[in-house]
Amino acid sequence: MSKKKRTELSGYRIMWVMVLFDLPVVADEERKAATRFRNSLKDMGFEMAQFSVYARWTTGKDKVKSIIGKVQDSLPEGGKVDILQFTDKQYENIISFHGKQRDKSQKNPDQYVLF
């Protein structure tokens, strides 16, 4: 019987990719291009964090490079797009507010285990 190899991922290996964008939406074609871009981010596994801010996690720097390439391939003609990349450990230090009220920090899982 073969043993399955367990891969443990630490908060330093898990990476987050965040896409922030400001796209023109005045003309009909600009709105359609912005919608296509947002939909392509969702198809790549991104989730909306805020309007024009989408984020997803992945398993390492090589995957981050691949995701950045896919985002680049789906860019619309106009507008500004920034891509941030950071570790899960860095992400767990996020400070969030709703209005003037500070949100309670969400604790990330201590360890991810993939089989």
Domains and CATH numbers, the chain: 11-96 (3.30.70.240)
Confidence band (pLDDT; 50, 70, 90) for 16? Answer: very high
Single pTM value for the model = 0.79
Backbone angles phi, psi at 40, to 5 degrees: -65, -35
Residues 53-108: tens digit of each pLDDT: 999 999 989 999 999 999 999 999 999 999 999 999 898 888 889 899 998 766 55
The residues near 88 (Cβ < 8 Å, ≥ 6 apart) are: 11, 12, 13, 14, 15, 16, 57, 108
Residue 72 C-beta-side C-alpha neighbours within 13 Å: 6
Residues 22-55: tens digit of each pLDDT: 999 999 999 999 999 999 999 999 999 999 999 9
